[in-house]
Amino acid sequence: MNRLAIRKYARFLISEYTEKPEGFIKDEGGEEIGLNDLINIAQTKVELDLIPEVPHFFRKTALLSVTANKNTYDAVTDFGITDFLLFENIFHNEAGKRPQGLLYVSPDQVYEYTTVGKADEPRVWTYESDTSIAFYPICPSTIADRYKGYYFRKLPDLNQDTDHDPENDKYAIPAMPAVVHILIATKAVIEIQIAKESGALELMNLYKLQKTEVLSLLNIMPGLRSERRDSLAESTR
């Protein structure tokens, strides 16, 4: 579904095909919030709702280079991840060695793994801010593509009805599986009904039913797979 189809379905759900002043909400916002604005808000909410259940549909990877005696890195400016939302995990990326995970710790745990100013092979990583992370101890060498990061991507806002051309920053189709698009429309209508103080509960139940149907497809996993998982001590270093 493109943005036009999402908007049409949203209006269908509440039997409102006319914009203001006759209808409740306009397509375009201006100084007021419009249906297109709500569609983008809904897209973000649907992504956050589905990430815990089907993370691989919203996951991307990036190779992370480190600089000697530097321990804090911004995902956008240092790693060039322009669509960064959240790191899931970071793995070692060394030729001839297993790609074991780098242990994540909270800031209050860093003291267990390093001394201030100490340069050594990094053992852990932590968040320093919303988009920056730090490695401890501080890496003593500059190494290209030292780690491989798995992160969740921030979806671009829809800004077109039908002209979809991501290379030119034209987004008409949500950057998620097609079966999920219906959830965006329903979620946008829930926001409208909350504002109207009517019918939100029924639409929330519809959303839950649609979500169950969507996940029944997205949760299908390959039959040839291993359920074995090493202990944390074996898979990190």
What does the domain layout of the chain look like in residue ranges?
3-8+16-54+157-218, 59-154
For residue 7, which of 35, 46, 41 has the smallest C-alpha distance?
Answer: 35
**β strands within the chain, DSSP E:** 59-66, 72-74, 84-92, 103-104, 124-127, 132-136, 143-153
How far is residue 30 from each of residues 34, 36, 171, measured CA to CA in Å?
Answer: 8, 11, 20
Model confidence, pTM: 0.85
Q: Rounded to an integer, what distance in angstroms lies between the CA atom of residue 107 and that of residue 110?
A: 5
DSSP-based three-state secondary structure for 194? helix
Report the phi/psi class of residue 117: left, alpha or beta, with left for phi > 0 and alpha for psi in -120 to 50. Answer: left
Per-residue confidence (pLDDT) for residue 225, from 0 to 100: 67
| Residue at token pair 């960064």 | 84
Q: Rounded to an integer, what distance in angstroms lies between the CA atom of residue 135 and that of residue 143?
A: 13
Per-residue confidence (pLDDT) for residue 39, from 0 to 100: 95
Per-residue confidence (pLDDT) for residue 222, from 0 to 100: 75
Q: How confident is the model over 38-69, as pLDDT tens digits? A: 999 999 999 999 999 999 999 999 999 999 99
Per-residue confidence (pLDDT) for residue 132, from 0 to 100: 96
Q: Rounded to an integer, what distance in angstroms lies between the CA atom of residue 203 and that of residue 209?
A: 10
For the record, the structure tokens of 17 come out as 């095909």
Per-residue confidence (pLDDT) for residue 2, from 0 to 100: 97
Per-residue confidence (pLDDT) for residue 19, from 0 to 100: 58
Per-residue confidence (pLDDT) for residue 209, from 0 to 100: 94
Residues in the chain with pLDDT < 50? Answer: none
Per-residue confidence (pLDDT) for residue 21, from 0 to 100: 52
Per-residue confidence (pLDDT) for residue 220, from 0 to 100: 86
Q: CB–CB of 186/206 below 8 Å?
A: yes
C-beta atoms surrounding 144 within 10 Å: 10
Q: CB–CB of 116/109 below 8 Å?
A: no
